[in-house]
C-alpha cells in the first residue's frame, strides 16, 4: 500500500519511499495492465496515418468521417494524421511508470480491408491493417476478440484481424480459425517462473450473434450460449487441460448490456464459480462505463471495465454514467496462490480520440462511483493522489 509521508517530506524522501513501495509490490508478485473496450475503428481509424474506406452503413450515418466531426465539435480539432502512439496519450507514461508484466485489452473492432460487412447488424467497426502500429505502440501483449464487433466484416475480416495481430507479435484470445483455436488461451511468460493464460469468452448477453460461434469447420469466437453450471464445467475442463503450477488464469468475458450499474445475479454466480473452477482473475467488459469490483476468495472480479478508447465524443451518455471516464487497472498477483496482492487504478478521460489523465474532480467521481456500486461486494477504494486509486479493503 502507499507509504505514509510525514508533513514536509522532501521530494528525495518521497521518491525513495515510492521506489521502496514499488519494490515491495514486485516482491508480492507481478503486475498486469487490464482495461475495457479498445475501439480503434470507424472515427479513430480515419485520423490514423492509413485511414480505410470511410463508408459505413449505419441507419443515421454513411461515413465514418461524421464521428470525427462530432468529436471535434465538442472538444476541438484533431490535427490529422495523428501518429500511432497518439491514441494512448497519457496512458503511455503511466505504463512506463508501472511497467506491468503483461498488457491485455479487449479489442472491439475488426482489422481488415474487407468490404463484406455483416448485413443487418446496424453498426460495423473496422480499422485498416496498416494502422496496426497503434496497438504495438502501447506494447499490447494480448487482444481479446470474443466480442460483438470482431466479425463486423465477416469471416474473412476476422481471419485478416487474427493474421494482422499475429504478424505484429500480438497474441489473440477468444477467436480463431476454428473452435479449438478460439477456446485456446493466449500464453504469456511473466516473472517468477509463471505463465499467464488468457482465455477470451463472449456471452450472447452482449449482443454476439449465435452464428458467430466458432465450430470445427468455421472461424469465429468462443461463444457462451448461457452462464449455466454446464458452461462453467466446460470452461473448467479447458483450464485443467492446460494449467500448470504457478500459471495464472485470466478469464476475459464480454457480457451484459452497454448501460447500467446493477450486476445480474447470474453474472455474480458465474464469476464466482469460475474462480472456484480455476480462474484467478475475471476481466469483464462490454459496458460503456466502469462497473463494480469484487474480491472473491482473494481473487479479483472486474464486472465491467468500461470503454478505454472509442469515437463516441459528441454522442455518448455522460450524465449518470460518464462513459468518457475510464480506468487503467493494475492488479498485482501472487504467482503461487493466484490471489490479489494489490490493486491500483489510474483515472483517465477519453478526449480528442485519446486517453488523457483525469482531473482531480473526475478521479473523485470515479472513486465515489466505484465505492457506491461496489458496496455490496465490500470493496472500498481511496484516492492516493490526483488520479490514482487504490484498493484499501483487505483482499
Q: What is the pLDDT of residue 394?
A: 60
Percent pLDDT > 90 in the chain is: 87
What pLDDT, in 10s, does the model give residues 185-226?
999 999 878 999 999 999 999 999 999 999 999 999 999 999
Q: What is the pLDDT of residue 386?
A: 87
Whether residue 85 is predicted with pLDDT greater than 90 in this model: the reply is yes
Domains of the chain: 30-391 (3.60.21.10)
Confidence of residue 55 (pLDDT cuts 50, 70, 90): very high
Distance CA 355, CA 310 (A): 10
User: Alpha helix (H) ranges present in 50-141?
Assistant: 65-75, 91-98, 133-136
Do residues 305 and 283 make contact, with C-beta atoms less than 8 angstroms apart? yes
pLDDT average, residue stretch 153-170: 98
Q: Angle 315-43-313 (CA atoms, 0-180°, nearest 5)?
A: 25
Q: What is the pLDDT of residue 314?
A: 84
Beta-carbon contacts of 205 under 8 Å, excluding residues fewer than 6 positions away, are 227, 255, 256, 257
Element (H, E) at 142: strand 142-144
What pLDDT, in 10s, does the model give residues 132-159?
999 999 999 999 999 999 999 999 999 9
Higher pLDDT, 17 or 64: 64
Q: What is the pLDDT of residue 28?
A: 64
Q: How far apart, in Å, do the first and last CA atoms of the chain sit? A: 12
Is the preceding omega at residue 112 within 30 degrees of 0, hence cis?
Answer: no
pTM of the model: 0.92
| Pick from 234, 89, 248, 102: nearest CA to 171 | 102
Whether residue 16 is predicted with pLDDT greater than 50 in this model: the reply is no
Q: What is the pLDDT of residue 316?
A: 65
Indicate the SS3 state at residue 249: strand
Average pLDDT, rounded, for the chain: 92
20-24, 118-122, 131-135, 296-300, range with the lowest pLDDT = 20-24
Q: What is the pLDDT of residue 27?
A: 56
Whether residue 8 is predicted with pLDDT greater than 50 in this model: the reply is no
Beta-carbon contacts of 153 under 8 Å, excluding residues fewer than 6 positions away, are 110, 112, 114, 115, 116, 117, 118, 124, 126
28-37, 138-147, 281-290, range with the lowest pLDDT = 28-37
Whether residue 24 is predicted with pLDDT greater than 80 in this model: the reply is no
Q: How many other C-beta atoms are found inside a 10 Å radius of the C-beta of residue 11?
A: 7
Indicate the SS3 state at residue 333: strand
Distance CA 227, CA 249 (A): 19
Do residues 160 and 128 make contact, with C-beta atoms less than 8 angstroms apart? no
Torsions phi, psi for 26 (to 5 deg): -60, -40
Give the cell for residue 96.
Answer: 512506463
Amino acid at each position: 500500500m502507499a507509504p505514509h509521508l510525514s508533513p514536509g517530506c522532501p521530494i528525495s524522501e518521497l521518491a525513495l519511499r515510492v521506489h521502496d513501495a514499488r519494490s515491495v509490490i514486485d516482491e508480492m508478485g507481478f503486475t498486469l495492465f487490464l482495461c475495457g473496450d479498445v475501439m480503434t475503428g470507424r472515427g479513430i481509424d480515419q485520423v490514423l496515418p492509413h485511414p480505410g474506406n470511410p463508408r459505413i452503413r449505419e441507419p443515421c450515418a454513411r461515413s465514418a468521417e461524421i464521428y470525427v466531426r462530432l468529436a471535434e465539435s465538442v472538444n476541438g480539432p484533431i490535427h490529422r494524421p495523428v501518429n500511432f502512439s497518439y491514441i494512448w496519450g497519457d496512458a503511455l507514461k503511466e505504463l512506463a511508470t508501472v511497467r506491468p508484466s503483461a498488457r491485455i485489452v479487449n479489442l472491439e473492432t475488426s482489422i481488415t480491408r474487407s468490404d463484406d460487412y455483416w448485413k443487418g447488424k446496424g453498426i460495423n467497426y473496422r480499422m485498416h491493417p496498416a494502422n496496426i502500429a497503434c496497438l504495438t505502440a502501447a506494447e499490447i501483449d494480448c487482444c481479446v476478440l470474443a466480442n460483438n464487433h470482431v466479425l463486423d466484416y465477416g469471416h474473412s475480416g476476422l481471419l485478416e484481424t487474427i493474421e494482422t495481430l499475429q504478424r505484429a507479435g500480438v497474441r489473440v484470445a477468444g477467436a480463431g480459425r476454428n473452435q479449438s483455436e478460439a477456446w485456446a488461451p493466449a500464453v504469456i511468460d511473466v516473472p517468477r517462473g509463471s505463465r499467464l493464460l488468457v482465455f477470451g469468452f463472449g456471452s450472447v448477453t452482449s449482443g454476439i450473434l449465435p452464428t458467430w460461434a466458432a465450430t470445427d469447420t468455421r472461424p469465429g469466437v468462443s461463444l457462451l450460449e448461457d452462464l449455466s453450471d454446464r458452461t462453467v464445467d466446460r470452461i473448467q475442463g479447458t483450464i485443467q487441460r492446460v494449467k500448470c503450477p504457478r500459471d495464472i488464469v485470466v478469464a476475459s468475458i464480454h457480457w451484459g448490456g452497454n448501460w447500467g450499474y446493477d450486476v445480474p445475479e447470474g453474472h455474480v454466480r458465474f464469476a464466482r464459480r469460475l474462480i472456484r473452477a480455476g480462474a484467478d482473475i475475471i476481466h469483464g467488459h462490454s459496458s460503456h462505463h466502469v462497473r463494480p469490483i469484487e474480491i472473491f476468495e482473494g481473487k479479483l472480479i472486474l464486472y465491467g471495465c468500461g470503454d478505454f478508447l472509442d469515437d463516441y465524443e459528441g454522442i455518448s451518455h455522460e450524465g449518470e454514467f460518464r462513459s468518457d471516464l475510464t480506468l487503467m487497472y493494475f492488479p498485482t498477483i501472487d504467482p503461487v496462490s493466484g490471489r490479489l496482492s494489490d490493486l491500483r487504478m489510474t483515472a483517465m478521460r477519453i478526449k480528442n480520440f485519446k486517453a488523457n489523465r483525469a482531473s482531480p474532480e473526475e478521479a473523485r467521481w470515479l472513486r465515489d462511483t466505484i465505492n457506491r456500486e461496489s458496496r455490496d461486494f465490500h470493496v472500498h477504494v481511496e484516492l492516493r493522489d490526483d488520479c490514482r486509486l487504490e484498493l484499501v479493503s483487505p483482499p
